[in-house]
Amino acid sequence: MENKHLITFQIAAKTLNFTQTAKMLNFAQSSVTAQMKSLESELGTPLFERLGKRLILTEAGRKFQLYADKMIRLNEEAKMAVGGDEELSGTLTIGAQESQCTYRLPPILMEFKKTYPNVKVIFKPAHSDEMARKQLLEGLLDIAFIMDALKPGDALKIESLIQENIKLVVAPDHPLLVKKEVCPKDLEQETFLLTETGCSYRTLLEDNLRSAKVYPLNKYEFGSIEAIKQCVIAGLGIAVLPEMAIESDIRSGKMKELAWLNTSTPVFTQIAWHKDKLMTPPLQAFIRLTHETFKAFT
């Protein structure tokens, strides 16, 4: 199975257009078609089918796409491992949730690109820890940042970086601010502004309320932490967010922290990768730099 054919398939599977694929690879369209027929013949099954003018992946094509990505990445890693390049090069695919992307990763990525300019960094947002774990297990990510309670990683290698302070925040004029201690029952009639299902700090809040048999009816779900923050500031509800995302807003008085009686398991920012992952020089360098950078946060 030729690597050239795998790369052509990888691009064709994303564009679903042989003409566009040919232009991207500087091939004749007939060459793309021939390569895909050769690959289909070797695999013994069609990878693409046409529905009218539309080109789509078959079920076999969708399954093979995952393996093609892995084989291409493994080929790159093998070349790096035996190439003996003095200067690091290659590709690193990183996953993280929005809070990590916005408040933790920028200094790490800036320093990494400055130190290792020949390493291509691909960033893939993960809307939940479970999504990041799934992508690590499927080989779609080289490394991921997750926020979770410390627990065994099964097939994953997980290292803790820092314990995160999770806060319950409201607008500066919220009536619950007069209470010295806010317990779950106090929150029963409140409107909650929540991140997407699977987010670690949303799960922390819901577990805390569920253990007290409190089930708020008023919930709004957002795909953006910044949108939640603006709604909190406008007085539309309560949000549970990591301190790193709201510390400047609390300092400026735009929002206030409730004296939340939080009995949940502590949450940590962690870095994770598959235990069988080939530890290429770029990956090792990124892990080392991440640990060094997080020391400044403690």
| CB of 168 closer than 8 Å to CB of 240 | yes
| CB of 139 closer than 8 Å to CB of 259 | no
Report d(CA 184, CA 171) in Å as an integer. 19
Report the SS3 class of residue 150.
Answer: coil
pLDDT at 152: 57
Angstrom CA distances, 251 to 231, 256, 298, stand at 18, 9, 19
Report d(CA 284, CA 291) in Å as an integer. 11
pLDDT at 153: 58
pLDDT at 197: 79
pLDDT at 104: 83
Quick check: pTM over 0.85?
no
Taking the CA of residue 250 as centre, how many other CA atoms within 13 Å lie in the half-sphere pointing to its CB?
Answer: 14
pLDDT at 292: 87
Report d(CA 190, CA 175) in Å as an integer. 11
- Rg (alpha carbons) of the chain, rounded to whole number: 23
DSSP secondary structure, 97-148, as one string: -HHHHHHTHHHHHHHHHHH-TTEEEEEEE-SSHHHHHHHHHTTS-SEEEEEE
pLDDT at 45: 94
Angstrom CA distances, 149 to 133, 172, 230, stand at 14, 30, 28
| pLDDT, mean of each 10-residue run, the chain (298 residues) | 89 91 88 93 93 89 89 75 62 85 86 86 81 84 81 77 90 93 90 85 85 88 89 94 90 93 77 84 88 79
Determine how β-strand 218-221 pairs with β-strand 239-242. Answer: unpaired
Report d(CA 103, CA 90) in Å as an integer. 26
